[in-house]
Structure 1
Amino acid sequence: MSDLEIRPTTVEDLPAVVAMLADDPLGTQRESPDDLTPYLAAFERLANDPHQLPVVAVRGDKVVGTLQLTIVPGLSRRGATRSIIEAVRVHADERGSGLGTQLIEWAVEESRHQGCSLVQLTSDATRTDAHRFYERLGFEASHVGFKKSL
């Protein structure tokens, strides 16, 4: 896997990133890879926020994975900074290759580098395979999450 590069996402990467976000049963319902307009606006907001680290994994010239790391300063836990890992996706051709592990390990190490004392993530309740994957990497299911659509 030495030919893998994890680097910041660029606007040119967006079609591949959005395609990966849409490439599962949940993503098919909520993503629209045929219209990149909302993703371009969102990417501009991310690019202008130093607490947001969207990255891609690239092998050769192909985007094969992605995630977003958010750094969150806070008052709780004695003023601890935490990170949140979101939107982890691995291209279908790469699933089972260890790429997901490399992405999460990168995010944990970058969180340390950013001074975080806690790394957290959420995973949809239906993604049981993902839950086992995160547990194998040392994450613990510790909270119940709630959402409200606006």
Structure 2
Amino acid sequence: MTEILIRKAEKKDLPAIQRLLSTYFLDIEELEPEDFVLAEEEGKVVGCAALIRNRSGEKTFMELHSIAVHPNLRGKGIGTRLMEYLINTIDEPEISEAPALELYVRTTAPGFFEKLGFIMVQNTEKLLLWEDCRNCEHFGKCAQHSMRYFRVS
């Protein structure tokens, strides 16, 4: 495998992001290309992940979103590199100056995130964080696991 470059996405990367996300039936709804970081191999986008600020009631939180790696390159550490890049380069002023870092993710691949230090959250916390979960008819049998990453600075 050649070298993988991790970088912030730009507007011109939108078609490549959409193509990769469509492989997994994910969409870019309410996300901007600038929310993403990309993994590139020989100038081709082979992975992406977004970090967004989300809000639920009084709580504002950071959420990892729309994480995808090209199917032929899964299991080669690209997803881990994307997550580590996001976790280690968060430049949100109120987050980076805070005494702790807290990130959330909803995923169908909990094992991947457990390896990165994420832990499962209870359904009660899931309902507090995500309004779409509160209104979902599939809540009790949802395939998505809600997880949290917490690190004290």
Say whether 1:87 aligns with 2:66: yes
Computed over aligned residues only, the root mean square deviation of the Cα atoms, in angstroms, reads 3.0
Using a 3 Å threshold, how does the CA distance of structure 1 residues 118 and 97 change in structure 2: closer, same or farther?
Answer: same
Corresponding residue for 1:3?
3
Aligned match for 1:118, one of 102, 114, 118? 102
Structure 1 residue 134, shift from structure 2 partner? 0.6
Between Structure 1 and Structure 2, which shows a larger proportion of helix residues? 1
Between Structure 1 and Structure 2, which shows a larger proportion of strand residues? 2
11-20 vs 82-91, which moves further: 11-20
Q: Secondary structure at the match of 2:67?
A: strand
Corresponding residue for 2:35?
53
Give the % identical residues: 26
Corresponding residue for 1:16?
16
1:66 maps to a residue whose letter is: C
Using a 3 Å threshold, how does the CA distance of structure 1 residues 57 and 97 change in structure 2: closer, same or farther?
Answer: same
- Unaligned runs of 5+ residues in structure 1 are 32-38
2:84 maps to a residue whose letter is: E
Using a 3 Å threshold, how does the CA distance of structure 1 residues 140 and 7 change in structure 2: closer, same or farther?
Answer: same
Moved over 3 A (4+): 71-76
Structure 1 Cα separation of the partners of residues 35 and 77 of structure 2: 21
Using a 3 Å threshold, how does the CA distance of structure 1 residues 2 and 53 change in structure 2: closer, same or farther?
Answer: farther
The alignment covers a number of residue pairs equal to: 121
Q: Secondary structure at the match of 1:122?
A: strand
TM-score w.r.t. the length of structure 1 is 0.66
- Unaligned runs of 5+ residues in structure 2 are 127-132, 137-153
Q: Secondary structure at the match of 2:120?
A: coil
Say whether 1:138 aligns with 2:122: no
Structure 1 residue 3, shift from structure 2 partner? 2.4
1:14 maps to a residue whose letter is: L
1:87 maps to a residue whose letter is: S
TM-score w.r.t. the length of structure 2 is 0.64
Corresponding residue for 2:75?
96
Q: Secondary structure at the match of 1:97?
A: coil
Structure 1 residue 88, shift from structure 2 partner? 0.4
